[in-house]
Amino acid sequence: MVSPAPKTYDAIVVGAGFAGLYAVHVLRDKRNLDVVAFDAAGDVGGTWYWNRYPGARVDIESVHYSYSFDEDLQQEWHWSERFPAQAEILSYLDHVADRFDLRRSIRFNTRITALTWDDEESLWTATTGAGQTCRARFVVSAAGTLSVPKRPDFPGVEDFAGEVLLTGNWPHHEVSFAGTRVGIIGVGSSGIQAISEIAKTAGELTVLQRTPNYATPIGNYPTDPEEERAEKADYAAIREASRNHFLGVPYSEVRPSAVAATPEQRRQVFDDRWNRGGFRLFIDSFGDILFDKAANDTIAQYIRERIHERVHDKATADLLAPEGYPYGTKRPPLETDYYESYNRPNVSLVDVKSNPIDAVTPAGVRLADGTEHHFDVLILATGFDACTGPLLAMNITGRGGLRLADHWSDGPQTYLGLMAAGFPNLFMITGPQSPSVLYNMPLAIEDHVDFSVAAMDHLRATGRDVIEPTPQAEKDWVAHTNELAQATLLPDSPTSWYMGDNIPGKPRRVLVYLGGAPAYRAKCDEIVAAGYEGFALSPAERALAR
């Protein structure tokens, strides 16, 4: 029997989280293109579908961390809290999918396992886990940045007799921790949120900590109707201010320099930002803390002191207070009562830096010195193969059989963190070397989808089919991204997913553009205004030339 020829679409979208939903909406409903989207999950949500662990919560205020593209949507939607929990964000995305009738264009429970470019036809072929294929002129990767959980770098997880839970792929059923002995590995944002919540109900909770983190208060509170009214009345201005801010939030009180301030002025600013919460301490206190070691030392010391005030046991506080690396060079977690969790009698902290995890055993975790900790449940909050992982997982092959994995063997090579040379018509929404992971993600997504769709419009308007960066433009962008990182303290970090080296064997390369979202957007605008400078468009302007 002859199998039917694969269907050819205008565009394939991979992912149905914030990025995929918006991409489907714009391509299908605003451009009338024939679009299909795929997601390995059973429904929409992306990050917010998988990360259902207790305590999972956004850490940019949802009035800002939400779509801006539809005025009615942003006016009508009501957030119950300043920083809502995972379930509420998932309900929002569910509502968006219904409101714009997006599900009919999405194939769920379908993982894309290969994407291959056909030079002859200038088409991508996507292959699913079930071996089905389809083709399209354009591929929009909306596969996310923190969507491939890190595989444990210690042996024995499969031998554990109890339940192993991953924060990044949490089960859909209720998990009760009452009366159980829970061990958790990892104190990044996920671990810290989960610990704060699980500590309230677990029989015993043992936290296995390698590198202590600089966590600061999120400052969550139920939505204040007055504040909500005022924000909605001024939403356009708020979005504009967000888009013009380094991190994509409308904060505006940053002072130039912590080292130039007196100790009293510093204390006053730190106290104020600490008390008001969010990323204010990180991004809206002093402008030099991510750039100047002496400035960073002042805030690092401040956070250590606050940790000591909150944790009763001095030895535990000593272990929890980070030393020896700058604040902000690992992504700072935000918390509610995290440090107070360690004052509970059922919570204990184990230092696995001085005594590393050797293996998971059927009964629990064995450390290098032979000590064993016994658990009924083991939680891995060990992070993600960030930024490049979701793209590499799709086995992408570009021009002339060039594999993305080979092109990126020494770290990601992109132009604008959006496209790669040799991979035509493949748009990587919030890709590596873009500002996305240091920007407000929904706004970063809207910028990237809009840029991609405008590029498609430009191709159509000029009678071309294909856009790709030139190798030189890519080389220059990589150099520029690295140069920006060198001007910050990021290279002084210990292992960090910002630098890729949280994954054994992954090259230590900065994965984020550190020039800030406004500079990045200005650069994108300049490139477009110059006729897509740094991109090769083909075939040459055939239609227009004649």
Interface ranges with ligand NA7 (CB under 6 A): 146, 153-154, 167, 185-191, 210-211, 331, 352, 357, 381-384, 495, 497, 502
Token pair in block for residue 33: 């293109």
- Which residue number is nearest to ligand NA7 in terms of Cβ? 188
Which residue, 20 or 328, is less far from ligand NA7 as judged by CB?
328
Around Cβ 282, how many Cβ atoms within 10 Å?
20
Closer residue to ligand NA7 in complex, CB, 154/291:
154
Tell me the closest approach of the beta carbon of residue 387 to ligand NA7, in angstroms: 11
Q: Choose between 23 and 185: whose C-beta lies nearer to ligand NA7.
A: 185
Neighbours of 409 (CB within 10 A): 10
At closest approach, how far in Å is the CB of 382 from ligand NA7?
A: 4
In the chain, the amino acid numbered 247 is L
- Please state the closest distance from residue 349 (CB atom) to ligand NA7, in A: 13
Burial 217-234 (b: 16+ CB within 10 A, else e): bbbbeebeeeeeeebeee
Q: How far is the CB of 384 from ligand NA7 (least distance, A)?
A: 6
Place of tokens 């002084």: 492
Residue with Cβ nearer ligand NA7 (357 or 489): 357
Angle at 485 between CA 436 and CA 61, to 5 degrees: 35
Smaller CB separation from ligand NA7, 77 or 214: 214
Output the six-digit token pair for 209. Answer: 């900590």
Backbone angles phi, psi at 412, to 5 degrees: -65, 140
311-343 b/e (C-beta count within 10 Å ≥ 16 → b) = beeeebbebbbbeebbbbbbbbbbbbebbebbe
Please work out, in degrees rounded to the nearest 5, the angle formed at the alpha carbon of residue 280 by the alpha carbons of 197 and 64.
80
If DSSP codes are grouped into helix, strand and coil, which group holds residue 191?
helix
Identify which of residues 128 and 211 has a Cβ nearer to ligand NA7 in the complex.
211
CB 469, min distance to ligand NA7, A: 27
Cβ nearer to ligand NA7, comparing 8 with 211: 211
Least distance CB 490 / ligand NA7 (angstroms): 14
Q: For residues 423 and 497, which CB has a smaller minimum distance to ligand NA7 in the complex? A: 497
The number of beta carbons lying within 10 Å of the beta carbon of residue 424 is 25
Q: How far is the CB of 501 from ligand NA7 (least distance, A)?
A: 9
Q: Which residue is it, tokens 């924000």?
A: 231
Query: Please, what is the minimum distance in Å from the beta carbon of residue 355 to ligand NA7?
Result: 11
Beta strands 396-397 and 204-209: pairing type? unpaired
CA distance 411 to 507: 6
